[in-house]
Homo-oligomer: A and B are copies of this chain.
Amino acid sequence: MGAAAGFRSSLTLVRKACATCRECDVRHQALCTAMADEHLHRLEDITSPVLLQPNQALLRQGDPCRKVYSLTSGMLRLFTDLPDGRRQITDFLMPGDYLGLVDDDFHSQSAEAVVASSLCAFPINQMELLMDEFPSLRERLHRMARAALRQAHDSQLMLGRLAPLEKLAGFLLMLDARTNHHPHHGRRLQLAMSRTDIADHLGLTIETVSRCFTRLKAQGLIRLPEAHLVEILHEGRLAEIAGIGLSPEHLRLAAS
């Protein structure tokens, strides 16, 4: 039910987002921030919309790079998988995030929709031309790449040195910080992704993720009215568990 509601609301957002860039939901968060209103049509001219259904693939690792994308609604997972089926989700993309920061010729990662999502697609070569013409655009993408790098570093710390409970606490706080920047629902946090996705992001098994949810619940730090709806009851203690050193950094990075 929670998922169905998410699906529907995403679809309504799609129409708005694709109407004109001026009125886009992420006009002031995405790469277009770099373009003044008067030049915005230059981006608009080379854009084509993309709609994805839940779990639909946008890119497969190994595909040649032809376009770059800006997520306007929904959520994507970026991941690498090994031949034997193991999978590492390196990041979840939220509205305003940019996709195509990383590779030159071939995609080193796959991208799939977590929930119904809409994106703006830009042909790479035209984007290159636009970057030559508008240095602020290149600077903006550079800045976004740097933010992604900070986030990846945080993830490395989490994967390498945090215990399962700490990982989950940190993950929830990070998600909260990133989503509540956009229209927020109090302290309620929608988990768009499955336990499997969370496990593949945190380097755990789904059983361990589930047990950690149970422990956080038992400690009174969160409530879990539905499997995909978290209420954060005690952000401070959650941050303590998460290891600190992360919290100020995370908030700042989510802002950019």
Contacts and interface: CB of A to CB of B under 8 A. Distances in A.
Nearest to A244: B83
A103 B253 CA distance: 10
Given A103-B150, A146-B104, A244-B83, A156 B249 contact: no
A88 B142 contact: no
B153 A108 contact: yes
Interface stretch (A118-126, A132-140, A172-180): A132-140
B245 A82 contact: yes
28 contacts: A80-B153, A80-B245, A82-B157, A82-B244, A83-B244, A83-B246, A87-B161, A88-B156, A88-B157, A88-B161, A90-B153, A101-B149, A102-B149, A102-B150, A104-B143, A135-B138, A138-B138, A145-B146, A149-B152, A152-B152, A152-B153, A152-B156, A156-B156, A159-B160, A159-B203, A160-B200, A160-B202, A161-B203
Contacts of A200: 160-161
Nearest to A132: B135
Interface string A87-114: 1101000000000011110001100000
Contacts of A101: 146, 149
Interface residues of A, number: 46
A81 to B, nearest CB: 8
Interface of A: 80-84, 86-88, 90, 101-104, 108-109, 132, 135, 138-139, 141-143, 145-146, 148-150, 152-153, 155-157, 159-161, 200-203, 243-249
Copies of this chain: 2
- Tell me if A's interface is mostly helix, strand, loop or mixed: helix
A93 to B, nearest CB: 14
A6 to B, nearest CB: 26
A249 B108 CA distance: 8
Contacts of A246: 82-84
Contact of A90 (B82, B83, B156): B156
Contacts of A139: 138
